[in-house]
């Protein structure tokens, strides 16, 4: 008998036995390996409140990631942690297939090799975004441009490179949508929130003016006029920080702020994954490390699109 089996809690016995039987039948796992898998998820089940079947019925991505964080903090060898996460993935898939968990949470569990506990910067403190916006002179073309850029960062979580690549034809003025050119020549169409759309409209009509020769939306303010580069987006954010008198940070931190804010307001990981255009759900799941208490209840609600009210 292994040390893990000795730690089995009474209310977890049945689910562990079913998992151990399911592995050879559904996953073609050897019986000895199945016992190891079952033994290795004992710690996860022991961590869940009793009765375990009820905890599994209400399991959320945030709860799974909270346990992953705790496991990573124990200072285990990367190989040990990797095995634990592989086994946890199999167990969560089993729970979904047997109806114990409503959604397949296996995709939430990250790969141990790329799991860094401090890899995500904190979202900016509450009120910081408004301070950045308040620092802008909206009577000047530069202020209109910078406001539109800041709102694309905070309202849609775009990357600096995606903002720099934005073309005039990518903005659906009447449909309230925006086409984003992302990594690997990927193009996605996203709903355009009303405030972001209005800011873009103000900049294009009154800030960008009739400057011809470029399809890019965002241009520099001084001669020779040229499209704003991705590093220029970072400079705009840092200059706004300096004007507002706050500690400087880069544009990607505003993307993190957008992601954690969406989760906290009730969006599911799958929905935030779509907005951030992550290829894998586990990349999005890393944002649940920021604030577990606020992310325990995730319900499906998309942010409203503009609806074309401001379009021309």
Using CA atoms, how far apart are residues 53 and 68, in angstroms rounded to an integer? 20
Single out the catalytic residue among 89, 93, 256, 287: 287
Q: How many helices (H) and strands (E) does the chain have?
A: 15, 3
Single out the catalytic residue among 8, 181, 252, 294: 252
83 in catalytic set: no
Single out the catalytic residue among 93, 278, 282, 289: 278
191 close to 301: Cβ distance less than 8 angstroms: no
Task: Find, among 256, 260, 239, 257, the residue nearest to 248 by Cα.
Answer: 239
Question: Buried b / exposed e across 192-231, counting CB within 10 Å, b at 16+?
Answer: bbbebbbbbbbbbeebbeeeeeeebbbbeeeeeeebbeee
252 in catalytic set: yes
Single out the catalytic residue among 255, 256, 277, 282: 255
Count of CB atoms situated within 10 Å of the CB of 35: 17
211 in catalytic set: no
37 in catalytic set: no
Beta strands in the chain (DSSP E): 171-172, 177-181, 187-191
147 close to 239: Cβ distance less than 8 angstroms: no
Composition of the chain by helix, strand, coil, percent to 5 = 60, 5, 35
186 in catalytic set: no
Single out the catalytic residue among 5, 183, 186, 226: 183
Single out the catalytic residue among 93, 159, 208, 289: 159
292 in catalytic set: no
Residues designated catalytic: 159, 183, 252, 255, 278, 287
């Amino acid at each position: 008998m292994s040390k893990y089996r000795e730690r089995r809690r009474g209310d977890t016995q049945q689910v562990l036995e079913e998992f151990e039987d399911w592995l050879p039948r559904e996953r073609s796992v050897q019986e000895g390996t199945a016992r190891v898998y079952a033994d290795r998820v004992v710690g996860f089940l022991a961590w869940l409140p009793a009765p375990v079947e009820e905890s599994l019925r209400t399991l959320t991505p945030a709860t799974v990631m909270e346990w992953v964080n705790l496991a990573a903090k124990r200072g285990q060898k990367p190989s040990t942690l990797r095995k634990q996460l592989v086994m946890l993935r199999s167990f969560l898939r089993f729970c979904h297939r047997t109806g114990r968990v409503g959604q397949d949470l296996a995709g939430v569990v990250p790969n141990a090799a790329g799991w860094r506990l401090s890899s995500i910067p904190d979202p900016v403190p509450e009120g910081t975004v408004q301070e950045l916006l308040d620092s802008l002179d909206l009577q000047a073309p530069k202020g209109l441009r910078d406001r539109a850029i800041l709102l694309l960062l905070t309202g849609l979580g775009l990357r600096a490179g995606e903002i720099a690549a934005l073309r005039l034809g990518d903005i659906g003025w009447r449909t309230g949508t925006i086409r984003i050119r992302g990594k690997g020549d990927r193009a996605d169409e996203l709903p355009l929130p009303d405030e972001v759309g209005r800011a873009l409209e103000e900049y294009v009509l009154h800030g960008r003016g009739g400057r011809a020769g470029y399809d890019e939306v965002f241009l520099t303010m001084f001669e020779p006029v040229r499209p704003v580069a991705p590093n220029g987006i970072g400079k705009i954010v840092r200059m706004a920080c300096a004007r507002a008198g706050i500690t400087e940070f880069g544009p990607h931190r505003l993307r993190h702020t957008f992601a954690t804010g969406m989760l906290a307001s009730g969006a599911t990981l799958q929905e935030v994954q779509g907005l951030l255009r992550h290829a894998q759900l586990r990349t999005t799941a890393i944002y649940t490390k920021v604030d577990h208490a606020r992310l325990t209840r995730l319900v499906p609600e998309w942010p409203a699109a503009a609806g074309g009210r401001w379009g021309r």
